[in-house]
Amino acid sequence: MCGIAGIFNCREKIDASEILNAMCGALYHRGPDGYGRYTAPGAALGHRRLAVIDLETGAQPLYSEDKSLVLVINGEIYNFMELRRELESKGHTFSSRSDSEVLLHLYEEYGKNFLPRLDGMFAFALYDSRKKKLLLGRDPMGKKPLYYFIRQKELAFASELGALKCHPGFPGALDHDALADYFSLLYIPPPGTVYKEVFQLPPAHFMEFDCAAGHGEIKPYWQIDFSQKLKGSREELAAELRRLVFQAVEKRLVADVPAGVFLSGGIDSNITAAVTARLLKGGKCCACTVGFGEARYDERVLAAKGAAFINAQCGGVLQHKVQEVESGDFSLVEELTAHCGQPYADSSILPTALLSAFARREITVALSGDGADELFGGYERYLAMELARKFTRIPETLRRGALKALSFFPEGGERSFAGRLARFLRISCVPEAERYFAIIDRAPQNLRRRLFTDDFYSSLSASGPERFLRHQGDLTTLCRGESYSETDIATYLPGDILPKADISSMASALEVRSPFLDRDVVRFAAALPWEMKLRNRERKSLLKYAFADLLAPEVLHAPKRGFGVPVASLLRNKWRKAAEELLFAETPGQREILRIQSVEQLWKEHLSARRDHSYILWSIIIFALFMKR
């Protein structure tokens, strides 16, 4: 796990080495164990290293035997030993034990067509100095980030936007449509960024950049297919899922440094911990949990029960480490905003960062449960969409009347029954084609018309639902219910969940691996019939069935709880002063986008505790921090 950066076709009178040093300096937190670089006329590659595999000879850049190929990579290749044996049988000689070196030999053997053979999480840059071509690649699910821009035939790329901004030619003009998407979704949908000319290489894609022409061509190399479904009994499918998850966890335990697991009160992390404990067969594994003072957001009791159940079955393999953390320190918000490099308002990044910092004291690699909700139907909104379709049989006048009546009562917050009911009633009044966007939209049309200035609103090229529906054009599923899951895998997972995991963990130089996002598990999940995932209103039904014997009953039957912090109450209390300074700051650009009178009204309503405006207020605060920087 590392950070990479590069500059190709650097313009004259600019010292590429100096810029590269600055870019890689901004990535120090991702790789504190070493810095390596390659420079040649028109080419510069840099690498910050977090040593995980091959601690002695795994430094980068890596070179082919004749030095014509140069490689830097961020991530891990899980099937590297299998690939290495294959390549050695074809006559290739390796100079290190590094998992990364297989890419050089794969390129020598297969050219750019080697990407589908990789099983891992990665973002890499491979320079062929003979052909004067650069190959950039990103893993199938988008676990490892890669940002870039091309200007005047010059390409610059980096693992983080903050590093890319060290380039003096960084294009800083804001993309208004991306900002509007941010206020709705709390993140910028990839492959775009908040900047007009800066992009992310999409997951499962590669770019071939021709240095002579100054042009890059982007192509896909892999796609998840939801159209073909497996046949078999529930028992048979559960047994295969269990086999694949065990296999995925085993691959991710390979490391030359201490590895452990994140453990919450949820089934995904408990499955990961239970499988890890069985695979270690008597070894020790650190399981890390953080908790908060507010009971609705604290999962320590459930996590402790889960750990005790696993240890009772596996002879005390888990060493459960628990810490209560303080979520009210606003300096962490400012620090993480800087790491994000663009507006990102999913507040669960705060506890994830606190958990990562705590875990890093004990381990360098952590296994997480990321991806299970998207793949196996875990979100409540999937069930809500099915119920809303049935609810529309009730006349719309009655639905709207119920929603209006509910508005006379205090909301009680997003997680309260009243808050969830109001959200459900709102989406039931929306046309079906726009309903899924409505259930995740935090800035619906009436709010953005009230919140955005006339100039900013008129500059937008399309409404939120219109832009979001464009992402649904490539869906492969034939099942309406499953389309929401596939949409999340294409948008929410690479746009929100995985950046959160990467940013918050790498801020503490911790590598996070996600067994549920293993390519074989993903393929299998996509081929499962939807009714196996959402069965009789039970979410993640097959996943629970497959691992029921490994989970504490309290964990197995507990309602889902998001990993978050009490933003609504923090804004009214500990964060109030900092919030007001940012909400009403005269930051250049902020007043050109947001109406101060509307922000003031939202703030007053939120402080009264009759309305919970925490999502939109939080997104404004994060935006203000971004503009301030």
Q: Alpha helix (H) ranges present in 366-463? A: 372-376, 380-391, 396-406, 417-428, 432-440, 445-451, 454-458
- Residue after which a domain boundary falls, among 168, 185, 220: 220
Sequence-ordered list of residues with C-beta below 8 angstroms from that of 221, at least 6 positions apart, any chain? 115, 116, 137, 204, 205, 206
| pLDDT, mean of residues 300-323 | 95
Question: What's 437-450 look like in SS3?
Answer: HHHHCCCCHHHHHH
Same domain assignment for residues 186 and 57: yes
Q: Averaged over 140-168, what is the pLDDT? A: 97
- Alpha carbons 134 and 157: distance in angstroms, whole number: 11
Do residue 143 and residue 244 come from a single domain? no
Looking at the structure, tell me whether residues 179 and 287 fall in a common domain.
no
Of 220, 252, 267, the last residue of a domain is 220
The mean pLDDT value for 562-580 works out to 90
Decide if 585 is inside a domain: no
Structure tokens at 407: 């508005």
More confident residue, 392 or 614: 614
The yes-or-no verdict on residue 145 having pLDDT over 80 is yes
Tens of pLDDT, residues 37-66? 999 999 999 999 998 987 877 899 999 999
* 308 shares its domain with 200: no
Angstrom distance (rounded) from CA 157 to CA 452: 32
Tokens found for residue 50: 């977090």
User: What average pLDDT is seen over the chain?
Assistant: 92
State whether 363 and 256 are in the same domain: yes
Helix/strand/coil for 526: helix
Comparing CA positions, the residue from 483, 401, 477 lying closest to residue 435 is 483
Give the CATH number for residue 253. 3.40.50.620
3-state secondary structure 160-212: CHHHHCCCCCCCCCECHHHHHHHHHHCCCCCCECCECCCEECCCCEEEEEECC
Q: Using the CB atoms, write b or e for 313-325: b if 16+ within 10 Å.
A: ebeebbebbeeeb
144 and 55: one domain? yes
The pLDDT of residue 389: 81
Q: Of residues 11 and 151, which shows the higher confidence score?
A: 151
Q: Are residues 195 and 281 in the same domain?
A: no
**Residues 83 and 189 both lie in one domain:** yes
- Residues 116 and 203 placed together within one structural domain of the fold: yes
- pLDDT computed for residue 1 by the predictor: 62
Residue 21 lies in a domain: yes
Which CA distances in Å does 500 have to 347, 351, 503, 550?
A: 10, 11, 5, 28
What stretches of 230-301 adopt beta strand conformation (E)? 259-262, 285-291
**pLDDT-based confidence at 416, cuts 50/70/90?**
low
| Residue among 335, 426, 340, 437 nearest 388 (CA) | 426
**Could you tell me the residue range of the domain that residue 78 belongs to?**
2-220
One domain for residues 339 and 213: no
Number of domains, the chain? 2
Range in 55-59, 75-79, 149-153, 277-281 with the lowest mean pLDDT: 55-59
Using CA atoms, how far apart are residues 94 and 215, in angstroms rounded to an integer? 32
Q: Torsion over CA of 535, 540, 544 and 547, rounded to 10 degrees? A: 130
Looking up residue 133, the CATH number of its domain turns out to be 3.60.20.10
What average pLDDT score do residues 532-554 get?
Answer: 96
Between 175-184, 244-253, 311-320, 414-423, the lowest mean confidence (pLDDT) is in 414-423
Neighbours of 399 (CB within 10 A): 18
pLDDT for res 400: 67
Is 141:78 a contact under the CB 8 Å cutoff? Answer: no
List residues bridging with 261 in a β-sheet: 287, 367
Report helix, strand or coil for 303. helix
Model confidence, pTM: 0.94
401 in a structural domain: no
Q: Look at residue 422 and give its three-state secondary structure.
A: helix
Burial 178-205 (b: 16+ CB within 10 A, else e): bbbbbbbbbbbbbbbbbbbebbbbbbbb
Q: How far apart are CA 225 and CA 440, in angstroms?
A: 24
The answer on pLDDT for 408 being more than 60 is: no
**Torsion sign (Cα): 44, 50, 56, 57:** negative
pLDDT digits (tens, 9 = 90+) for 26-40: 999 999 999 999 999
CB 563 within 8 A of CB 351: yes
Residues 208 and 238 in one domain: no
Q: Are residues 191 and 295 in the same domain?
A: no
Residues 177-214: tens digit of each pLDDT: 999 999 999 999 999 999 999 999 999 999 999 999 99
Given 556, 585, 615, which residue is the final one in a domain? 556
C-alpha 526/C-alpha 320 separation (Å) is 33
